[in-house]
A and B are shown apart, each in its own frame.
Chain A
Amino acid sequence: MTGRYLLAKDHLVPLLRKIAKSNRLVAPVLNEYGDTLFSHITDLDSAAIDLAHQPQNSLKSFFFPQTEKLSTYLVEKSPKTGNVRYNFYPHTVENQPTAYVGVRSCDMFAVMYTDMTFLHNGERDNYYQKRRDNAFFITLACNHPFPNCFCNATRSGPFLELGYDLQLTDLGDRYFVETGRSRGMKIVEQMGQFFKPASEADRREQFQLALEARGLFQRNVHVELASKILQEQDEPVGIISELSSRCQDCAGCAYVCPTCTCFNIADLPLDEESGERIRSWDACTFAGFSKMAGDHNPVQCESQRVRKRFLHKLLHDVAKHGRPSCVGCGRCVDICFGGVDIISFVDRVVKTIDHCRDVD
């Protein structure tokens, strides 16, 4: 059952301190360079928790690290027969309950999406699962969307209706707290001294903020229309080719994207007899992503480099899961210096139909 409570703002840090006794804490922290990043907090007193800005990273790397060791291997040569043995010893993922604090709806939706990829696709990825099983989420509703945000258009915000353990809404001097999944309820029960029941007036205030937030988006991105056009019309080869030619192959978009989870697996020899099997982030925009043995590449990089990225998010995943796998966080807009972000693509696709209408 969803419960509604109030948490005084100056009770947040004491609450986190209490939670940190049995959990690792991850929250947006302002660093000395002025960047806000989701970070592990080891010392609550010195960490500058920043709930006012959008973290530049998503939670992706906490469940799916940029590089991670899957196993160690040994290549042993039998002195007797000269035969080679290739043996693997799996790496164990460290296992620690973690509270993710200040997570906005886009990033929470992204975690739910990556769950589908890693856990619900037939095979379960045990490295991801161990981290995921230990996670609980204290999310923060977005009262004020940031300049490049468009989660309203991807149906992933700005307020959450599911997925969170506790959702906080900033009501000025206090947080309105909703309990979602069971772990959130447990926190309220175990740490009842921090919470008091919310009144009907508080609930109305929160409801009003949620309504207002929807009107505060600065970007008007027609994601659903673009998906519909992609379904109904021929592939926009010209747009894909134009944006591909501007792509500099840096993979920044895929790395900051909270739902991009393509990876590479490679052996990293340490010496002749041993090495590590490493998994690392990959990106479909990289020239070598689809390259097969003998350098055969079925993807034409010059004209199709960004094809998979945009069609996967806006066409194929809509067909498969009923929603795009873009969560509208706007990070690719911030990072791409070539303007090859998902908003450029959506805008161009939508324009094709506007153009048709003009001709009609």
Chain B
Amino acid sequence: MAGIEFQKQERQNKHQVGPFRQENIYLPHPAIIREIITENETVSTFVLEFEDALYRQEFTYKPGQFLMVSIPHQGEAPISISSASALTTTFALTVRKAGKLTGAMHGLSMGDVVGIRGPYGRPFPMGDLEGKNLVFVAGGIGMAPLHSALFSCLEHRQKYGAITVLYGSRNPDEICFSEEMKSFEQDENVKCLLTVDEAGDNWQGHVGLVTELLDMISIDPGTSKALVCGPGIMIRFVIARLESLGMQAPDIITTLERHMKCGVGICGHCHFDEKLICSDGPVFTRDELTNLENI
């Protein structure tokens, strides 16, 4: 059995596996899946915790950061953290079944151990959001990183002005975090508007693009910040609409997605003009992005 052979060969290297393993930036840390929350047919939220108690204690992250996630035999992919940076030792990844790795991830069960590296990337500028009215605009699985920022803000609700969530999905079945979205209906702390591209039989809400929701609220450009995440084309249109409503470029914040292999600015895969999405981003303000064409 080749497995045993390798165990023997490589065990000698095991002394390198300290609690933080910083000397090897490519080495993932084992993390246990504590819970799997089915958001909808294609999206699940995986709640994870590091196996190593020391690492579990030391691990911190900020909204907008991502992890490199290793799934058995599938390699690694960058995935945004969707949980708020609360004082728990667990963290969550909300993943859509889209390709080989994410497909395999959806086949995992509670108690399975995956590999995690990170957190990486520039987070949302949470300090700059304080005292502002916040508009979160999400499309599809783009809700995942915004969810982290939104719930961090809700933990310190008094620090922020009005909070508005605009969330577009393809159809009502594809809405993620639907329980939470529903709870916002009764919540005076958050105004939440949902829209779908195609309504089903039971859908009473808005039908249309998420940009249309922007016309249903009032934004005071001087006191507001917008956080936008979704498919590239959606980000482009939302940014254009926000600008036409008078919002200034530094107040429009988005987070971008790219294929990545290292996550730390070396492998070259996530070059976006002169920037690297992994280390210069993934969070950018509008004024940092000259060209929105290939986002």
Contact = CB atoms under 8 A, between A and B. Distances in A.
A and B: bona fide binding partners:
yes
Interface of A: 70-76, 81-92, 117-118, 121-127, 261-267, 269-271, 273-275, 277, 279, 282, 284, 289-295, 298-300, 304, 308, 311-312, 315-316, 319-320
A124 to B, nearest CB: 7
B259 A290 contact: yes
8 contacts: A70-B27, A72-B9, A261-B268, A271-B1, A274-B6, A289-B269, A292-B259, A293-B98
What are the nearest 4 A-B pairs in CB distance? A262-B268, A89-B10, A293-B99, A293-B98
B30 A86 contact: yes
B26 A271 contact: no
Contacts of B114: 86
A89 B11 contact: yes
B242 interface: no
Interface of A is mostly: mixed
A74 B74 contact: no
Given A71-B26, A299-B294, A89 B74 contact: no
Interface string B13-31: 1101100000111111010
B201 interface: no
B200 interface: no
Given A84-B72, A265-B76, A271 B13 contact: no
A122 B113 contact: no
Contacts of A126: 23-25
Chain A CB within 10 A, most for which of B2, B267, B268: B268
B109 A298 contact: no
B273 A265 contact: no
A265 B267 contact: yes
Contacts of A300: 294
A81 B99 CA distance: 28
Contacts of A73: 72, 115
B55 to A, nearest CB: 14
B26 A265 contact: yes
Contact of B268 (A273, A282, A292): A282
B191 interface: no
Most buried by A among B73, B98, B264: B73
A298 B266 CA distance: 20
Given A75-B72, A320-B274, A88 B232 contact: no
Interface string B170-193: 000000000000000000000000
A239 to B, nearest CB: 17
B24 A122 contact: no
Given A72-B9, A89-B10, A275 B73 contact: yes
A299 B295 CA distance: 9
A76 B4 CA distance: 11
Contacts of A292: 98-99, 257-259
B48 to A, nearest CB: 12
A161 B249 CA distance: 45
Given A267-B74, A271-B1, A290-B258, A117 B266 contact: yes
Nearest to B231: A296
Contacts of A274: 2-3, 6
A88 B28 contact: yes
A25 B23 CA distance: 28
Contacts of A284: 268, 271
B261 A294 contact: no
Interface in B102-117: 102, 108-109, 111-115
B239 interface: no
A269 B112 CA distance: 19
Contacts of A289: 259, 269
B75 interface: yes
Contacts of A290: 258-259, 269
B267 A263 contact: yes
Contacts of A271: 1-3
Nearest to B28: A88
Contacts of B266: 117-118, 121, 123, 125, 261, 263
Given A72-B10, A126-B25, A86 B71 contact: yes
A298 B258 contact: yes
